[in-house]
């Protein structure tokens, strides 16, 4: 993942976001990061982008870390809406959530999430998980939105 | 749940395969690893006699090279994602090809992630180790392939 990839974090819990940011950084991921605090904010972010003239968003790369239990519009619906838009079809979405039901997991994969990770409840495990995600993301290539 | 994960590796280069397997095994100790030497072999495994090879309870993930004899990785990806049952199998590209157009094309065809094999041996090992640590995360969840007809 090159430095120009922007990491979007769909996360209502500010404490979790801070942990995510801090541990991605520890794993050497110093990319620009934004928190989008609820489902509506995420959808608005992408809607604004898809309305922009093509040359303005051409070339920009994003990765979305998406929680499921977020206010206003939940993560599953956000995922569905994003993946329906062919501009964002190539956007990697990593579900990062406490939700661990088989139905939700299947549903997210059917809707096109790239991977699904359950947040560990233990603080240390959570930190370690994020660092491993960070080191994995460092070796991944991302396509730009178009 | 971890024991039920099978990592399929489609890789024609024997040296690369050994390196990938060895470094995945540092963390993915409980997973089965299967090798396929070209695109045709992996398609045969997935599409022929599915009921014989693929187990419903298990979860599969495919690490897919692009430049391979007989059938290339792009075609393998296309065939998997066009199949109603197999499309849920996460496919990670692991290739020396780093062209932007190839990255775009693979994401368009719904690969899960695209990883470029570093030319430097040590970087290559490190890359695979990072991938292995990710795949062995306690929290990672994979889709099951469900009931196989055929």
Closest CA to A33 of A13, A59, A56, A62: A62
pLDDT digits (tens, 9 = 90+) for B13-25: 999 999 999 999 9
ipTM: 0.94
Q: Is A70 helix (H, G, I), strand (E, B) or coil?
A: coil
Q: Is B84 on the interface with A (CB under 8 A)?
A: no
- For residue B140, being part of any structural domain is answered with no
Task: Say if B129 falls within a structural domain.
Answer: yes
In a domain, B141, yes or no: no
Reading the block at residue A77, the tokens are: 């619906």
Distance CA A45, CA A54 (A): 16
Query: Is the dihedral angle over the CA atoms B127, B130, B134, B135 positive or is it negative?
Result: positive
Token pair listed for B93: 């590209």
Query: Is residue B9, in this structure, part of any structural domain at all?
Result: yes
Q: What does each of the 146 residues of chain A score in pLDDT, given as a tens digit?
A: 899 999 999 999 999 999 999 999 999 999 999 999 999 999 999 988 888 776 666 678 999 999 999 999 999 999 999 999 888 889 999 999 999 999 999 999 999 999 999 999 999 999 999 999 999 999 999 999 87
Residue among A115, A132, A143 whose CB faces B103 most closely: A143
Checking if the pLDDT of B146 tops 80, the result is no
Q: Does B26 touch chain A (CB under 8 A)?
A: no
Total structural domains within chain B: 1
Per-residue pLDDT, A58: 67
CA distance B6 to chain A (A): 16
For the stretch B82-123, pLDDT in tens is: 998 899 999 999 999 999 999 999 999 999 999 999 999 999
Residue B150 lies in a domain: no
The beta-carbon neighbor of B112 closest among A89, A114, A144 is A114
Is pLDDT of B54 > 50?
yes
B14 touching A (Cβ < 8 Å):
no
pLDDT of B55 above 90 = no
- The model carries a pTM of 0.94
- Cα–Cα distance for residue pair A11/A39, rounded to 1 Å: 9
Rounded Cα–Cα distance for residues B18 and B31 (Å)? 16
Say whether A90 and B104 touch across the interface (CB within 8 A): yes
Question: Which CATH number fits the domain that encloses residue B34?
Answer: 3.40.50.2300
Name the phi and psi angles at B32, rounded to 5: -80, 145
Q: Is residue B13 part of a domain?
A: yes
Examine residue B126 and state whether it is found in any structural domain, yes or no. yes
H-helix or E-strand spanning residue A49: helix A39-51
Query: Is B111 within the bounds of a domain?
Result: yes
Delineate the domains of chain A, giving CATH numbers in brackets: 14-138 (3.40.50.2300)
- Say whether A132 and B134 touch across the interface (CB within 8 A): yes
pLDDT at B149: 45
Domain coverage including residue B72: 2-135
A2: left (phi over 0), alpha (psi -120 to 50) or beta: beta
- Facing A139 at nearest CB: one of B98, B104, B127: B127
pLDDT of residue A125: 97
Please identify which residue in the block is written with the tokens 């990785």.
B73
CB contact under 8 A, A135 and B142: no
Residue matched to tokens 């040590």: B122
């Amino acid at each position: 993942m090159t430095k120009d990839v922007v990491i979007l974090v769909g996360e209502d819990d500010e404490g979790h976001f801070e942990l995510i940011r801090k541990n991605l950084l520890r794993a050497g991921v110093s990319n620009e990061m934004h928190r989008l605090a609820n489902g509506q904010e995420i959808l608005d972010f992408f809607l604004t982008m898809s309305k922009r003239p093509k040359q303005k968003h051409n070339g920009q790369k994003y990765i979305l870390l998406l929680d499921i239990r977020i206010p206003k519009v939940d993560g599953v619906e956000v995922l569905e809406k994003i993946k329906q838009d062919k501009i964002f079809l190539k956007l990697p979405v990593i579900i990062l959530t406490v939700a661990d039901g088989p139905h939700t997991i299947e549903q997210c994969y059917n809707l096109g999430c790239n991977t699904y990770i359950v947040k560990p409840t233990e603080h240390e495990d959570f930190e370690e998980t994020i660092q491993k995600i960070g080191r994995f993301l460092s070796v991944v290539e991302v396509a730009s939105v178009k | 749940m971890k024991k039920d994960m099978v990592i399929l590796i489609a890789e024609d280069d024997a040296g690369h395969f050994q390196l990938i397997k060895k470094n995945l095994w540092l963390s993915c100790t409980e997973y089965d690893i299967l090798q396929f030497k070209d695109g045709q072999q992996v398609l045969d495994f997935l599409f022929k006699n599915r009921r014989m090879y693929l187990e419903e309870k298990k979860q599969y993930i495919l690490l897919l090279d692009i430049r391979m004899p007989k059938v290339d990785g792009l075609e393998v990806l296309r065939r998997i994602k066009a199949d109603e049952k197999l499309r849920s199998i996460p496919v990670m590209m692991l290739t020396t090809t780093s062209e932007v157009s190839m990255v775009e094309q693979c994401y368009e065809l719904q690969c899960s992630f695209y990883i470029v094999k570093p030319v430097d041996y040590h970087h290559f090992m490190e890359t695979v180790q990072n991938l292995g640590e990710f795949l062995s995360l306690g929290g990672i969840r994979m889709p099951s392939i469900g009931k196989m007809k055929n």
